[in-house]
Structure 1
Amino acid sequence: MSAAALPTVSVLHSEWIKIRSSRSILASLLAVFATTAGITVLTAAAIGTSQPGALGEDRLFGAFFGINFGQIAAVAFGATAFAGEFRNGALRVSLTAVPNRTRLYLSKAAAVAGLAFVVGQITGLVTFVAGQALMGEYALSLGDPGTVRAVFGSGAYLTLIALLSAGLTALVRSGTLVMSLLIPFLLIVPFVVGQVADGAGRFMPDRAGQAVMRLEVQGTLGPWSGLAVTALWALVSLAAGWLAVRRRDA
């Protein structure tokens, strides 16, 4: 992968235009914020002051109660951002404008990563601050141990989930298929695997990455090592998608 294949400003700008002009892609990106922050705030308002562990035994992780819903929107964003290239010959048009497949692919991945990261960081901060404002005497503050790391990590986690979805979409050329498989995989498989394989579920992308939002370390993965495991999942997915785009016909 040479420097000649790296993204350029003009190609990145064209990818931004594609995302901005598609209502479904933009809606899924905004849904990352709406679902994560909205569900956390509503839950905190309803039961947050009932007892110390109302949102979960780990109070810091509970401050991001809606993250499991937000990750579904992140999956949808990554999938829809890439899926458009594989419908109605759109990839051939894109390759006419950007003949270098690696540059096109890296530019799309960079656009997804950049937008997901910005929205993810805003989401993490708003989710924490707004949710804790409704927790009364059980509220955490940004000055408490681990909170800044968790706020930053929540945004990074959502970004990695979006990239995992994007890479798989490039691999199978179907956003619908990726969403129908990846969402159940994130929500169900880690619990099943964890029960039958002696904690192996902790190395699944969601369980591992969510460790960065926890105050208490669970198992062998710490906050940053857990996030690194999710980053590895995303990297493998993106590499597989890149190979598929390079080798298959448009």
Structure 2
Amino acid sequence: MTHAPVLHSEWLKIRTLRSLPAALLALFAVTTAFSALAGADAADDPQSDPLFTALSGVLPGQIAAVSFGALAMAAEYHGGALRMSLAAVPRRGRWFAAKATAVAVPVLLTGLVTAVAALGAARARGGAADGLTGSEQARAILGCAVYLMLMALFAAGLTAVLRSGVAALSVLVPFILVVSFVVGDSVGTVADFLPDKAGQTVLHRTYDGSLGPWSGLAVTALWTVAALAAGAWCVRRRDT
């Protein structure tokens, strides 16, 4: 099979597994709702970063993106689905690339729509984004979508390594919610290079750390490439 029908088959799996569209809907709803709430509180804190305030809903919303990536890959490890997929597509690298693409594109597109809606909601509720320039908003919208896509792919790669969506989420969700916020603040600049912290730099108008918006996304991309490479190796060498 060429790449196009393989990608089409993986897209059909995404569409027909109910939990996956639900995860994308949750990504949009949670991010927009929390950004609207943060925008309402922005007037009480003039010292806050208006861009990060307007997109602060990404912090809880990214859990839905991570869940999407983990669940999409984990579906292959239930009921012998992976064996059937590899029987249809013996070239495992081609299959894995199609799976990664089927994960990346929906999250990227949903992330773009979500970022626009979050900025609009924050502006409507409290004017958090009123002082932002067009270039700052464009950078944040694109960066937000790329960041969410990278985190979904990171989760998909880790799931392929662990062969379990539950195991991957058991690692990633506490890491994002606890390590980055609690441990990260106590280890100085090392926290700047954690996959989530690095990528979130693009959500800030001003940044004082060692990474800028695009260099931060590049660090997250390196983490994602490493996870996908490990997952692809496991599929090629271990899984049957």
Counterpart for residue 178 of structure 2: 188
Contact persistence 2:51–2:132 (CA under 8 A): no
The match for 2:118 among 127, 150, 155 is 127
Structure 2 letter corresponding to 1:197: V
In structure 2, what is the Cα distance between the partners aligned to 1:139 and 1:195? 27
Contact persistence 1:205–1:233 (CA under 8 A): yes
Q: Extract structure 1 runs of 4+ deviating beyond 4 A.
A: none
Contact persistence 1:189–1:201 (CA under 8 A): no
Q: How does 1:1-250 map to 2 (within 5 A)?
A: 8-45=3-40, 47-53=41-47, 57-136=48-127, 138-140=128-130, 143-144=133-134, 146-250=136-240
In structure 2, what is the Cα distance between the partners aligned to 1:192 and 1:216? 22
- More moved, 194-203 vs 64-73: 194-203
Structure 2 letter corresponding to 1:230: T
Structure 2 letter corresponding to 1:12: L
Q: CA deviation at 1:249?
A: 3.2
- More moved, 146-155 vs 184-193: 184-193
- Measured against aligned partners, the alpha-carbon deviations of 1:110-166 in whole angstroms (never above 9, x if no partner) come to 111111111111111111122212224x54266355221011101110000000000
In structure 2, what is the Cα distance between the partners aligned to 1:158 and 1:238? 15
Structure 2 CA distance for partners of 1:69 and 1:52, relative to 1, 3 Å: same
TM-score, with length taken from structure 2: 0.94
Q: Which structure has the highest helix share of the two?
A: 2
Q: CA deviation at 1:89?
A: 0.7
Structure 2 CA distance for partners of 1:140 and 1:90, relative to 1, 3 Å: same
In structure 2, what is the Cα distance between the partners aligned to 1:122 and 1:141? 21
Structure 2 CA distance for partners of 1:195 and 1:68, relative to 1, 3 Å: closer
Task: Please provide the CA RMSD for this pair.
Answer: 1.8
Unaligned runs of at least 5 residues, structure 2:
none
- Aligned-residue sequence identity (percent) comes to 49
Contact persistence 2:42–2:50 (CA under 8 A): no
Unaligned runs of at least 5 residues, structure 1:
none
- Measured against aligned partners, the alpha-carbon deviations of 1:157-203 in whole angstroms (never above 9, x if no partner) come to 00000000000001110001111110111122124443443321111
TM-score, with length taken from structure 1: 0.90
Tell me the SS of whatever aligns to 2:44.
Answer: coil
